[in-house]
Amino acid sequence: MPRAAVIFNPTKIDRADLAAVVDKAQQNAGWEESLWLETEADDPGTGMARRAVEEGVDVVLGVGGDGTIRAVSEGLRGASVPLALCPQGTGNLLARNLKLTLDNLEESVDAAFNGVSRPVDLAVADFTRPDGSSEERTFVVMAGVGLDAQIMSTTDEKLKKKVGMLAYVKAGIEALRENRRMRIQFKLDDDQPQRARIHTVLIGNCGSIGANVMLLPDAAVDDGLLDVVAVRPQGVWGWPKLAWKVLVDNALFRRFKSDADRRKSDDTRDLNYQQVRQIEIRFASPEEIELDGDHMGEISRVRVSVEHGGLNVMMPEGWEPSD
C-alpha cells in the first residue's frame, strides 16, 4: 500500500487536530499509516523531507507556513516525490499562487491522498558569505535583497502572530526611513555585467504576494523563467509612483495594455522588470537576503537559477492544467 509522510510545524498546528483529519483521509484512501515528522528550530523541514524520501514514501504533506514549505521543497529537490501543501502560516504564498485552499484542512489533506501531481519550477540560490564560504539553498516563491530582506529581518514575530501581514507594514516603514541603496554589479543570463544603485531586488517564481498585490505580474510557477524586479524610486514622488504601479496598475490595468505598452511601463528608473533563466549579483558591501520570507543572513554574492519542473506539487482531485 502507498504511504504518506506528514511534515508539520508544531508551532502552527496541534498534532492531534491534524492527525484526526489525516488518519481519516488515509484510511478512506486505503493507504498505510503515515510517517510523522516534526520540524525543529534548527531544521525547519529539509532534513525531514530527505528522510521521507529515503523511507520511500509516495507523497509528502507539508504543514506550516512559507518557511516550512520552502525547507521541505529543498529536501525534495531531485526526488520525484510530490509535495502536498497544507498552509498554516501568515502569507502561504505558494498555495495562494497555485489557487489552493488556505483555510480548509480537510481539503488540503485530501489532495495528498487523492489529488493530481503537477510540476512547478524550483529556484536555486547559490550565495557567497562575507567570509568567503558558499551555500546553496532553494526557494519556491521569491528571494529578496535590500529593503525587502531588511523588512523580513526586523518584523516582530509576536506582532505577526497577532495581526498577520500588517506586521510587515511596521517593519517596512522603519526600513524606508533609512532610505539606503545598494551598489551592485549584476549579470542577466549571458549578457554583459552592469552596475546599478538600487533599494531592493526581488527574484521570483510567483507573482502575487496576497491581497491582490501583483508584485511580479508576468511570473508563472511553471514557465522555466525567473522574474526579476529592481526597485529604485526617484525623488519625492518615487515611492507613490511605485505603489500605484504595484497596487493599481499591475492588478487592474495591465491586462488591457498592448505588449509594447507593457514593455514601456516595465522599464523605468523606478521599477525595472526582467525575465531570465539566471541572474548573478555582486554587492559592494555585505547585504541581507531572504528566501520565501526566511531571513538567511548576509551575503556578498548570489547566483539564482531555475530548475524547470524541479518540484511536483499535489493539486485537488479533478484538477486539469489550463490552456
CATH number of 33's domain: 3.40.50.10330
Read off the amino acid at residue 182: M
CATH number of 207's domain: 2.60.200.40
Instruction: Choose between 256 and 169: higher pLDDT.
Output: 256
- Structural domain span for residue 68: 4-114
State whether 135 and 227 are in the same domain: yes
Read off the pLDDT of each residue in 8-36 and give the average, rounded to a whole number: 97
Lowest mean pLDDT among 126-130, 171-175, 247-251, 264-268: 171-175
Residues 6+ apart with CB under 8 A from 302: 125, 126, 127, 128, 143, 145, 280, 281, 289
Domain membership flag for residue 24: yes
CA pair distance 273, 178, nearest whole angstrom: 24
State whether 104 and 129 are in the same domain: no
Domain membership flag for residue 321: no
State whether 147 and 108 are in the same domain: no
State whether 170 and 297 are in the same domain: yes
Among residues 95, 114, 133, the one where a domain terminates is: 114
State whether 176 and 297 are in the same domain: yes
Residues 6+ apart with CB under 8 A from 140: 69, 70, 73, 94, 120, 122, 123, 205, 206, 221, 292, 311
pLDDT band at 323 (very low <50, low <70, confident <90, very high): low
Domain membership flag for residue 18: yes
State whether 81 and 138 are in the same domain: no
The pTM score is 0.86
Among residues 77, 93, 114, the one where a domain terminates is: 114
What pLDDT, on a 0 to 100 scale, did the predictor assign at position 269?
A: 66
- For 25, phi then psi, to 5°, come to -65, -40
Alpha helix ranges (H) inside 116-196: 147-154, 157-163, 166-178
